[in-house]
Structure 1
């Protein structure tokens, strides 16, 4: 099964200049049929004007993973502080409770993707890590950016859960990760994207795939695929 949700049709929040596209119910956008996918309880595509973002706010019992696409992002929390540029990943384990803030840099707009994943255990000790990621360029295949089994650039406290990222060029073919449940986001310039079967996905489009492991996707122009995969429903 493949379910596509077009970026322009996804729930959208606009506040203080920010624009957020949501994959699931979030804030005022509540749909009881769309509250998550496997371990994902939030997947937000964030667009921040310079110097804007989210002031201090609390979380608990979430693995919060952010992947920076453009611009720069400043993170501040009880357990760490740091700046991230394009191709950086950060993981905040909220655990027993943490307060954090995220702010875009002053030099230009920032776009990042943030996912909230349910951890295997509640009440863990909060922690923070950030790392740059070398995707190897178009044609290099998948890079495991975050993983619950120790194979990613950053670890997460959710076994059987991974975040993979790959870059495709026009006509390049790539098999999706070998997991039964996949949540894929396309990042691309206007007019570019990927083909999934007979469906063309463009920037901001999301596909949820069930029992489609190994399906081949094809680049249309140049695109980045940001894919969460899950071993369990």
Structure 2
């Protein structure tokens, strides 16, 4: 089954006065929809736009894998392990929060910064806390890092067997290169299409397709038409394709074979 979620229907967060504009695809911080807390192992897909110098002050994460795709500009990352990096357009950044990590994210450039940040829950997270958890945590106001923010659904407790925090950046990832996320059954595929070009949609129990730029069609012709900011959520995807239908197209396609598991 294929469902289209329009970018115009995303929950708007961020802080206009601080130069932060955020669009959430799933429940996040102060916004909670019990019917929209995640898809497969994906619990957040946030479109972030930061003015020069704007950013998120130090805030915590634990038991979550965070993958960031920079669309435009330069993202500066500083974390509690001592790592500092700058991530540019076309780069993929992954942070495995593990037992716990704090970090700062900000626009290090002189122009606007745009990135898509996606959170995935590892395979096992201990005891679920139920609806009271309020979905994936982090402040919709743009002020991340107080209370229980920064934790995925399932509660703060997580599991005590968490790994040490991990961090990596793949610079200039090539089109079609699969990016597998540790401790999940999830792989991200980057696809860039010209007008009329086609690409296969992965066969998987859950496939999430986010349109970064351009217009694409997905499914049997003429297919569902998606513009920048739109997403397709596909369950039991088999023998589907995506086509470029307007301008240079950039797609982030998540191939997922599991949902989060919580202990009893």
TM-score by length of 1: 0.88
Partner of 2:66: 64
Alignment of 1:1-233 (within 5 A): 1-15=1-15, 16-79=18-81, 80-120=83-123, 122=159, 123-136=162-175, 142-144=176-178, 146-148=179-181, 156-158=182-184, 160-188=185-213, 192-197=214-219, 198-220=223-245, 221-233=247-259
SS in 2 for 1:95: coil
Structure 2 CA distance for aligned equivalents of residues 27 and 210 of structure 1: 26
Q: CA RMSD in A?
A: 1.4
Structure 2 CA distance for aligned equivalents of residues 103 and 225 of structure 1: 24
SS in 2 for 1:211: strand
Structure 1 CA distance for aligned equivalents of residues 40 and 112 of structure 2: 31
Bigger Rg, which one: 2
Alpha-carbon distance, 1:20 to partner: 1.1
Report if the CA contact (8 A) 1:187-1:193 is conserved: no
SS in 1 for 2:103: strand
Runs of 4+ displaced beyond 3 Å: none
SS in 2 for 1:180: strand
Report if the CA contact (8 A) 2:203-2:236 is conserved: no
Structure 1 CA distance for aligned equivalents of residues 239 and 180 of structure 2: 19
Unpaired segments of 5 or more residues in structure 2? 125-158, 260-264
Unpaired segments of 5 or more residues in structure 1? 137-141, 149-155
Structure 1 CA distance for aligned equivalents of residues 116 and 7 of structure 2: 13
